[in-house]
Amino acid sequence: MQMNPQHSEGGGPVEGPNGDAERHAVQLADLAEGPELRDILRRRTQLLADRAGLVDRLEAASRGSLSPGNLRFPSQRTRSWGRVAAALVAAAIGVALFLWPQSQQQPPIDGAPPALAQAVDVGAGVLVETPSEPVLVSLLLDSDVVEVRSSALESVDDPIDLLRARDASYRKLVSEVQLIALAAQGVR
Amino acid sequence: MTDGPADDLRRAVERITQGDEGKRGPAARLGTERAWRTIIERLGPRVFALVRSRCGDADLAEEIAQSVFVTVAEKLSSMTDVSGFESWVFTVALNRLRDEMRRRTRHARPSGDLQAVGGASGDPAFAAAPVPPVEPDPRIRDLERAMQELSPSDREIIDLRHIGGLSFQQMADLLGEPIGTLLSRHHRAVARLRASIERTQKGASSDAIP
């Protein structure tokens, strides 16, 4: 694991307009810390950074979001099509739900939006058949996490979608999931 | 002059921000993947460790670190000035942590453990973190205890410098303070840290059975 670079190699370029000031600061900092305290601080940093598989997980979580130019990672195209299909189905279901009599809906769980509460009633892990592929929908109300997983992904443990659910598109995704899960409830 | 980790990181960031105009296909993709891996390797553990030090929760720290790198990945290709890249990444991390601490404080019950989520006053991202699990090395234990006694301001400077591994210039960029001020703050923080450790060690030796 790559550990914390210390002092003069700790981060950005030392050269430049402020290079002298930075060098001077590093020398003074070295004097202030002394080798013993610096050694303990370095050891503490190593302990704090010690997390098995961290780099791999960070990379896996973020690689789907990395799109310089039009470069795309292999699984992203599949995932995108899955999302498009899910969104289309959700839109169609939304229209149907709009026409669905309110009396047929179940009472909500305390504290949860009615649609989400009903979806949770279905249970974690709902398989929804969309025109293009089956989509696995998991709802975890207690942790504020909504997962949408496509069974077409390479691994169902791929955390990318989970992270995106927490991101800016959270609300939109939640509404889609609610609709999909409600549809699944109807199917069952 | 030999290349160090900072040079690797700079090249990796430039590789992605400058892109490969007109290039497509496996080679370009592989280059981008490698560059991204380098960025994660260089910064991931540092961001994780800094957030973990602040919140005392390894799982939350990893969640925040993942969220930070998703944001970095989304915005990196549109960056035009990469000189402040590291400072920016740590700024994103600390803002994310601050938001999370505030969210938790808001949702905490009145009898809840406010201290454990950063305290009710000051900047939640740099308030006293909960005491971590017992560390077998007595030197680390003393250091942890001494860190708890530092003010949020002193902790901030020690954490950014020693856990984040930021240069003074990068800290100046991040905090918006002159290098001289930061150097002075760092000097005072280290002196207090050292004094606190020495007090702890003296106390331990006077308590020892002769």
Q: What is the pLDDT of residues A95-137, one digit of tens each?
A: 665 555 443 443 333 333 343 334 333 333 433 333 334 444 4
* Contact state of A49 with B42 under an 8 Å Cβ cutoff: no
Dihedral pair phi/psi, residue B157, rounded to 5°: -70, -40
- Enclosing H/E stretch for B14: helix B5-18
Mean of all residue pLDDT scores within chain B: 78
Q: B207 with B175, same domain?
A: yes
Distance CA A25, CA A29 (A): 6
Q: B42 with B145, same domain?
A: no
**Counting Cβ atoms within 10 Å, is residue B91 exposed (0-12), middle (13-18) or buried (19+)?**
middle
Q: B113 with B52, same domain?
A: yes
In a domain, B126, yes or no: no
For residue B48, what pLDDT is reported? 95
Q: B87 with B142, same domain?
A: no
Distance CA B63, CA A58 (A): 9
pLDDT, tens digit (0-9, with 9 covering 90-100), for B144-180: 888 888 998 899 999 999 999 998 889 998 998 888 8
In a domain, B125, yes or no: no
Q: Which residues of A touch B172 (CB under 8 A)?
A: 18
Asked if the model's pLDDT at residue B13 lies above 60, the reply is: yes
Count of the separate structural domains present in chain B: 2
pLDDT, tens digit (0-9, with 9 covering 90-100), for B55-71: 888 889 999 999 999 88
The count of C-alpha atoms lying within 13 angstroms of the C-alpha of B65, restricted to the half-sphere facing its C-beta, is 32
* Contact state of B162 with A4 under an 8 Å Cβ cutoff: yes
Instruction: Give which of A141, A103, A101, A104 is closest to A121, Cα–Cα.
Output: A141
Q: pTM for the complete prediction? A: 0.59
Q: B6 with B88, same domain?
A: yes
Range of the structural domain that residue B31 is part of = 1-18+25-120
Residue that finishes a domain, picked among B120, B148, B180? B120
Selecting from A25, A51, A59 the residue whose C-beta is nearest the C-beta of B168 gives: A25
Residue that finishes a domain, picked among B69, B85, B120? B120
User: Among A112-116, B21-25, B182-186, which stretch is predicted with the lowest mean pLDDT?
Assistant: A112-116
Q: B46 with B92, same domain?
A: yes
pLDDT, tens digit (0-9, with 9 covering 90-100), for A153-171: 333 333 334 334 443 344 4
Residue that finishes a domain, picked among B90, B120, B150? B120
Q: B44 with B109, same domain?
A: yes
Q: B43 with B139, same domain?
A: no
Q: B169 with B103, same domain?
A: no
* Contact state of B52 with A48 under an 8 Å Cβ cutoff: yes
In a domain, B51, yes or no: yes
Q: B115 with B140, same domain?
A: no
How much of chain B exceeds pLDDT 70, in percent?
74
CATH classification of the domain holding B192: 1.10.10.10
- Which ipTM value was assigned to this complex? 0.78
Q: How close does chain A come to B121, measured CA to CA in Å?
A: 25
Selecting from A34, A40, A54 the residue whose C-beta is nearest the C-beta of B44 gives: A54
The total of other beta-carbon atoms located within 10 Å of residue B201's CB is 14
Token pair recorded at residue B156: 């901030």
Interface of B with A in 105-164 (CB under 8 A): 135, 137, 139-140, 143-144, 158, 161-164
Rounded mean pLDDT of B131-144?
A: 73
Distance CA A60, CA A63 (A): 6
Q: How close does chain B come to A137, measured CA to CA in Å?
A: 21
* Contact state of A61 with B69 under an 8 Å Cβ cutoff: yes
CATH classification of the domain holding B64: 1.10.1740.10
